[in-house]
Chain A
């Protein structure tokens, strides 16, 4: 376990370098001169002055070769400095920090909701395969995978905020304002988790040790909850780590719709304005979060599943 942890922790910086490098190169290969973009942002409607462009290129450090720029960016990033936004001229790191709490709140609420529905429904639909419960669960999974979060979000707003006026549609600050965005965000991971738990429970129920447990005369209840559940939920731990990716992708859109002041909204604004330092900082930050959460999920999986600890230590 210790050796495994050390190996995983050692690869983290490499992965981060890789992802930030890919996005750095992509952003710099893109057509258009960032110096011109900055000048257009700051003096809208004015003609570009070639000397001002050259001066801005020097100011932004764009006159250095690309590898030098990247090394400079990395050494600053390690010190916690992700540069300044082209548009607001504020430090990127501070903007990211300020918007982390709203996004964390929203994704945590959505993930909790997804798990609260997906785990019991997945188990129930596997135990009563072919029953009406199973049909409903599979329908929810199907709809959840196909419904675009943006259309769903507007459906919720139209129904609960416009027609019924039960809940506020926009804004951030009160508990009631979390409800609609959390529901809109939770449906896709909910569908995915439910599908997975159902399949994994079905597979576990077909195992030999389950047949043995049944042959011993244990009740169907004890077999399902005492023997099968533990193993059936293992893939869900890994999937929870993966669904963070879905949640963060979804948050980009859901935050924009509900004017939720989180990271997603920041990223969309930055992408539309071609505010490269913010895009680059955001991509790196998300990479850190995703890699750390997946690492935690992997460790949790090893703690919960002794087969991984002893059987395949080489993995």
Chain B
């Protein structure tokens, strides 16, 4: 069912925002192919009449009351930042646009 190419792995890596080396591409292409072949087994029993389960324990309607709770100070928020400036997280220039 699967037959995952190097190009597809490269595409996945792009979607997942990971730079991968050429060497990794080869290794992952082989391994993903092998894994996907194995796990495709789920298709054998997943017939149309079976509802999917997204949550193991069936709960509904868990709501929070609309009351302010203490959060973090600016200093705490920025404590782990690789770079910060003027109370904000500093990041390299952004190429893409907002969605």
Pair from one complex: no
Which residues of A are in contact with B by a Cβ distance under 8 Å? none
